[in-house]
Amino acid sequence: MDPEDADLIRRFLAGEAEALSRIDGWIRSAAWAFRQRLSSDWDDLQQDLRLEITRLLKKGAFRGEARLKTYLWRVVAHACLDRVRARSRWDWTDLDEATEGLERDGIELDEVGEHLAAQDLMRRVWQMAPEECRRLWALVLAGFSYAEMSSRVGIAAGTLRVRVLRCRKRAQSLRQDLLHEDEGRTL
């Protein structure tokens, strides 16, 4: 592996601003050809690409057979192509047709909007919650008992209950903070 690439990877994984900026530039450049086709997903795509590249570099997937920039371009191109292919499988519905169907079924559009807003709020709480809480919630949502979770995580069941409770309180606090933040924007 080229020593310059190894140093850049080390600095990127350490979170150094210059290394992050350089690799982000390579990601944007490599994905640019797909920008128009993925315009509605552009910001999410870039974030997903950063996460995937970080994951690959952390696990040592880059073996140095090519330059780091070339490797990243390949990863980005394949990820973008996968996203384009996935979007082509979506079944798009005209908005007017969808709302007419809801009205026929007796569903008010305001109810749908409230439901979507609640889902968005939950997604934002999930993203802001600490990693440990997300892991515990994933186990709870998967239907594991505290005893099963305890054996998987390697923490006593009583301790686990306390941590889940703290995570729930943290989520409630985050939810309240986000609600107040959203109210401030609408005023």
pLDDT digits (tens, 9 = 90+) for 89-146: 655 555 566 556 555 656 555 565 666 777 777 888 888 888 888 888 888 878 888 8
Do residues 12 and 19 touch, judged by C-beta distance below 8 A? yes
Domain assignment present for 99: no
Show the domain range for 123: 108-186
pLDDT digits (tens, 9 = 90+) for 7-17: 888 888 888 88
Alpha-carbon distance of 86 to 112, in angstroms, equals 26
Give me the pLDDT at residue 139, please: 84
Alpha-carbon distance of 44 to 40, in angstroms, equals 9
Do residues 76 and 38 touch, judged by C-beta distance below 8 A? no
> pTM of the full predicted structure?
0.44
Q: Are residues 75 and 17 in the same domain?
A: yes
* DSSP run (H or E) holding 175: helix 157-186
44 band by pLDDT with thresholds 50, 70 and 90: confident
Q: Are residues 132 and 58 in the same domain?
A: no
Q: Are residues 123 and 172 in the same domain?
A: yes
Q: Are residues 84 and 9 in the same domain?
A: yes
Domain assignment present for 103: no
Q: What is the mean pLDDT of residues 38-66?
A: 78
Question: Range with the lowest mean pLDDT among 14-18, 38-42, 162-166, 178-182?
Answer: 38-42
Domain count, the chain: 2
pLDDT digits (tens, 9 = 90+) for 133-178: 888 888 887 888 888 888 888 888 888 888 888 988 888 888 888 8
Pairwise pLDDT comparison (143 vs 38), residue with the higher score: 143
Q: Are residues 147 and 83 in the same domain?
A: no
Is the pLDDT at 51 greater than 70? The verdict is yes
Is the pLDDT at 74 greater than 60? The verdict is yes
CATH number at residue 182: 1.10.10.10
Alpha-carbon distance of 182 to 148, in angstroms, equals 38
Domain assignment present for 44: yes
